[in-house]
Amino acid sequence: MKLLRQWLEVIPLTLTVTGLLAVGIAPAIAQISNTASASADNLDEPVNSNEALLTAAQPRLELTKTADRAAAEPGDTVVYSLAL
């Protein structure tokens, strides 16, 4: 295949991302809604995506750290155990 024409054009692009971040303990099962929209000077109105719903359960991994003693003095050896 022969390349007939090669061109490079710089197109200015502005991207705005808006979101909500909640920090805390989620319920046992959480519904997450994911949507997007796009707008441009040549569009009459924004174009909206369909809503995608995700049901997220709590993670099933838990990390526990324990020590072989409750207190230690300088120079003592403390053995830690990690359980996943």
CB 82 within 8 A of CB 63: yes
Tens of pLDDT, residues 68-83: 999 999 989 999 998 8
Neighbours of 79 (CB within 10 A): 8
Amino acid letter for position 67? A
Q: What is the pTM of this model?
A: 0.36
Greater confidence, 25 or 71? 71
Of 2-6, 14-18, 30-34, 44-48, which has the strongest mean pLDDT? 44-48
Tens of pLDDT, residues 36-66: 888 888 889 988 889 998 887 776 778 889 9
Kindly list the domain boundaries of the chain, sorted by start residue.
29-83
Q: Which residue has the tokens 């719903």?
A: 53
